[in-house]
Amino acid sequence: MSHPQSYEILLVPGFAEDTTDAPESGGAIRSAVVAATGETGASGYPRYVGEGIVADIDPATRSVEALLVDGAELSYGLSARVKERDTTTGADS
Is residue 76 over pLDDT 50? yes
Is residue 93 over pLDDT 90? no
- Given a contact cutoff of 8 angstroms between Cβ atoms, the answer to whether 87 and 5 are in contact is yes
Distance from C-alpha of 25 to C-alpha of 84, rounded to nearest angstrom: 12
Residue 20 is predicted with a pLDDT of 46
pTM: 0.80
Q: Coil, strand or helix: which one is 21? A: coil
- Given a contact cutoff of 8 angstroms between Cβ atoms, the answer to whether 91 and 25 are in contact is no
84 band by pLDDT with thresholds 50, 70 and 90: confident
**Mean of pLDDT values over 62-88:** 90
Could you report the per-residue pLDDT of 26-58, keeping only the tens digit for each? 689 999 999 999 999 999 999 999 999 999 999
